[in-house]
Amino acid sequence: MKQKTIPLRKCTGCQEMKDKRTLVRIVKSENGEFSIDFTGKKPGRGAYICPDLECLEKARKSKGLERSFKTSVPKEVYDKLREELTDGADSK
Ligand SMILES: [Zn+2]
């Protein structure tokens, strides 16, 4: 039996290694624009975070995204993430 390797990525909030398919990807494109990538296929540099408001707050406080991207991350990116995560919880 072949064992499948699960690609792991580190959450910028809780710093835990998780299956990347369960994480939300934040992408910074070549022109420096940030977007939230649910497909995991957008080009650009990515950082990962659990789809969890607690992790989002942790990332915001610890500047996890800033450290991943090595640049400042606009507040709007966090707001957008929060919006997406809240919407997701509502539709369940
Ligand atoms: Zn997390």
Structure-token match 């090595």, residue found: 70
Please report the pLDDT score of residue 90 as a whole number: 54
Q: From CA 77, how far away is CA 33, in angstroms rounded? A: 10
Q: Give the pTM.
A: 0.85
Q: What is the pLDDT of residue 54?
A: 96
Output the pLDDT for position 4: 84
30 Cα to the center of ligand 1, angstroms: 26
Distance 24 CA to ligand 1 centre (A): 10
Which of the residues in the chain have pLDDT under 50? none
Say how many Å lie between the CA of residue 52 and the centre of ligand 1.
7
Are 50 and 14 a contacting pair, CB within 8 Å?
yes
Q: How far is the CA of 57 from the centre of ligand 1 (A)?
A: 10
Cα 67 to averaged position of ligand 1 atoms, centre (Å): 15
